[in-house]
Chains A and B, each alone.
Chain A
């Protein structure tokens, strides 16, 4: 057994806790104009893209890091981070999977990512992100047949500049909050999806993110555009190697649905949450926002959040088109010293707009879990309605569960209903399950899965199975 394998053996607590030795090209440490130019240059970006980044950077200088959130974290030194790193073997883009660095392929195998055969079997096209550069994209052929564009962001900037130029930054403007603006200035790569008019995407599109190289904040940028009458379901799943230093992840995800289009965005997030004492772990400060631009459009967010030391995100919907629909389904599980402050924003601007929020929070150990949501019905959004339900489950008295909804109703034709409950697993339920032969952990798993059912149902099949397992794993050791 060589040393690396021994290391892996040591880290078996965390299934995905390993790193690959690939030499990285790194931008110099720190954040300044030169670094931004370096990133732009290395990615051979056109001038307008560089201008976009520099504009964001100018704005960033005026912004302060927000501090209203519940989970506090040690101050991040933004000058002490690398803003770009790429696997060296990526210098010249490989033409096919066979040309890939075998070490990369090995990593994916360990992660269980179906990159080759498995991809085909599962009918999933995978755009795997290793550190900052997209490594390989499969199933391109099948998608091209339908005119669907599914590629990395850098490729899209080269090949489809018109689309990128038209939509990038329209939902999350460069002048948005601190982390979104930071992302606009230094984003490295991400996924780009365009579904042409009237096309129903024949398969689930999927990206696995993976954070590698230590001290590298990952700044993903995803843009999904569903043109008139189209449909797409997009999956995002994350694992990350074990690290002692905290790693910052500030991605931006923009969704745009035009007339009659539907976007379904599902996330399973299982990043390294830090060890049992709360040391290490990823900071997940992501900005996700969808715009229902056209009439009768629909955006649906589903998320299962089990990882990260701190999760701080609010996938939101701006319901601009008449009759548009926004949905948000979330399960957030925190254990040990994890902290989560998550929820959604539903901003109703168009008439007859509807939104639904189902949020399930489970906290165990010493963790803290906050649901924070905004429902804002504008005075012009006639006949709109919202339904919100957020339930929390507490395990033990060292953890916390909080609900902070903001409700603004400026339209007398519209209805808002909000419900929230907080409880624990009752002794009766546990007793009942144990009586029928389940051990306490299985019983809790069963009850929790029942508690989350409404959200798990919303996930695509393959994901639902994975998520269900994840829910069980995340709560291991929290009973008794």
Chain B
């Protein structure tokens, strides 16, 4: 594997216009990655779903080389209808377009971040891989007191020219004081098997609001990994919603540091899985100062041969008195072959806190099905109604009305009135 990595890396460097400093930085990341390799089940965080095995099984030989010299054609048909939005188009491993047409351009600043090192501590070889191979890493700064009028949608797509390849995306966001950003990650890639590795770093200043919605709905054979690092200042709010349904493999990691008082983090997720899909959400919420709050709700509906895992960790520092932490994961297993794993973890060093977690899993309640059937629905309808109701609970947590309706439409959830 390391030879492949090295030769693909050299090829990329040869065709690129990276400065020497950039190349050196990338080389360091590459060496770190070669040293540790893909994570495997021996690491606690990868216990339930072993990415190194999954890549081996689904892709076998992964290529790291992407020819950036070729131009890509943007397919407009995948764009989201019925919602005015700003766009970032990420196609075949390259950012093709950044478009903030709906906004006041003077309030948003876009800069190249490739030259910079990562500012936080991590033990994650996939971030090294990401930094070694990303083409361009941009930083988007939303200036003080500015709220984006329209949401920003990042389109993640690939076309047929790319196959069995590792694609990396890195973006940094800084939200100035009292600013607001609504960000939708929209996965439209339905072409052949690739391994997509996304790394976002958010810096939320005082009173800012971040809403991030990840929508992976359409069935595709890609393997995806996404890592969000969120640093939160005083009174800031982050909301993350994950719809994990489309890919063969998708692991979402959210690491949230509540550095400022009165900051809060909300993470809601849905797994809706069918044949052979294996998805995971792993969250770490670090309550570091007083009066912070976090809330997590994860629900799974698991069909044949599918597997979901939820690892949630709430850490409360000894300084973080008056913390309020909540975690709930629920799963419905529809088939004999489905599997649900959970590891909801609490690590608490302060005494005046309110922390709780719950986890429940089982099959659909036969009594409820009977109830609905006795009122004239057939078996299939009753089942669907119950599942929809189960999932709707999570979607209702979305605070943005427009986006909530969009997501309901995408999932096909209708409100039964």
Contacts and interface: CB of A to CB of B under 8 A. Distances in A.
Interface of A: 68, 379, 392, 394-424
A102 B364 CA distance: 67
B360 A420 contact: no
Given A394-B351, A417-B359, A418-B360, A412 B346 contact: no
B356 A397 contact: no
Interface stretch (B10-18, B71-79, B327-335): B327-335
Nearest to B352: A424
B226 to A, nearest CB: 23
Nearest to B360: A417
Contacts of B360: 415-418
Interface in B307-354: 318, 321, 331, 333-354
A406 B337 CA distance: 19
B136 interface: no
B401 to A, nearest CB: 33
A392 B334 contact: no
A436 B369 CA distance: 53
Contacts of A398: 318
A420 B358 contact: yes
A419 B337 CA distance: 25
A409 B361 contact: yes
Nearest to A412: B333
Contact of A404 (B343, B353, B358): B343
Contacts of A411: 333, 336
Contacts of B335: 412
Contacts of B348: 392, 394, 400-402, 422
21 contacts: A392-B348, A398-B318, A400-B347, A406-B343, A408-B339, A409-B341, A412-B334, A415-B361, A415-B362, A416-B362, A417-B360, A418-B342, A418-B357, A418-B360, A420-B344, A420-B346, A420-B357, A422-B348, A422-B353, A423-B354, A424-B352
Contacts of B346: 392, 401-403, 420, 422
A409 B340 CA distance: 5
Nearest to B332: A412
Given A407-B344, A407-B359, 4 more contacts: A392-B348, A403-B346, A421-B356, A422-B354
A410 to B, nearest CB: 5
A412 B363 contact: yes
B342 A407 contact: yes
Contacts of B362: 409, 412, 414-416
Contact of B351 (A397, A406, A407, A420): A397
A405 B350 contact: no
Nearest to A396: B351
Interface string B33-71: 000000000001000000000000000000000000000
B355 interface: yes
A379 B343 CA distance: 19
Nearest to B320: A397
Given A398-B318, A409-B331, A419 B356 contact: yes
Contacts of A420: 344, 346, 356-358
B307 to A, nearest CB: 9
A397 B319 CA distance: 8
B349 A400 contact: yes
B349 A407 contact: no
Contact of B341 (A402, A408, A418, A424): A408
B195 to A, nearest CB: 26
List of 10 A-B pairs having minimum Cβ-Cβ separation, nearest first: A412-B333, A415-B362, A394-B351, A407-B342, A418-B359, A403-B346, A424-B351, A421-B356, A422-B355, A400-B349
B130 to A, nearest CB: 27
Contacts of A68: 44
Interface in B355-385: 355-363
Contacts of A405: 342-345, 359
B296 to A, nearest CB: 14
Question: Interface residues of B: mostly helix, strand, loop or mixed?
Answer: strand
A412 B331 CA distance: 10
Contacts of A395: 351
B47 to A, nearest CB: 8
Contact of A403 (B333, B341, B345): B345
A407 B356 contact: no
Q: Which of A403, A407, A415, A424 has the most CB of B within 10 A?
A: A407
B361 A416 contact: yes
B305 to A, nearest CB: 11
B359 A416 contact: yes
Contacts of B344: 403, 405, 407, 418, 420
Contacts of B347: 400, 402
Contacts of A421: 355-356
Contacts of A409: 331, 333, 339-341, 361-362
Contact of A412 (B44, B336, B341): B336
Contacts of A414: 362-363
Contact of B363 (A400, A401, A406, A413): A413
Interface string B283-320: 00000000000000000000000000000000000100
A403 B347 CA distance: 7
A399 B343 CA distance: 23
Nearest to A406: B343
A99 B195 CA distance: 76
A407 B358 CA distance: 11
B301 to A, nearest CB: 11
A421 B324 CA distance: 11
Contacts of A402: 345-348
Nearest to B350: A397
Contacts of A415: 360-363
A153 B45 CA distance: 42
B340 A404 contact: no
Contacts of A419: 356-358
A412 B335 CA distance: 6
A66 to B, nearest CB: 13
A133 B148 CA distance: 77
A401 B339 CA distance: 29
Contacts of A424: 351-353
B312 to A, nearest CB: 11
Contacts of A423: 353-354
Contacts of A422: 346, 348, 353-356
A407 B309 CA distance: 9
Contacts of B357: 403, 418-420
Nearest to A374: B343
Contacts of A379: 336-337
B339 A410 contact: yes
B360 to A, nearest CB: 5
A401 B359 CA distance: 19
Contacts of A403: 344-346, 357
A422 B358 CA distance: 12
Nearest to A419: B358
Nearest to B339: A410
A416 B333 CA distance: 11
B346 to A, nearest CB: 4
Contacts of B339: 408-410
Q: Which of A395, A402, A414 has the most CB of B within 10 A?
A: A402
A420 B345 CA distance: 10
A420 B328 CA distance: 10
A406 B349 CA distance: 21
Nearest to B363: A412
B340 A397 contact: no
Nearest to A403: B346
B93 to A, nearest CB: 36
A304 to B, nearest CB: 22
A422 B315 CA distance: 12
A316 B124 CA distance: 33
Contacts of A394: 348, 350-351, 353
A399 B350 CA distance: 7
Contacts of A399: 349, 351
A405 B357 CA distance: 10
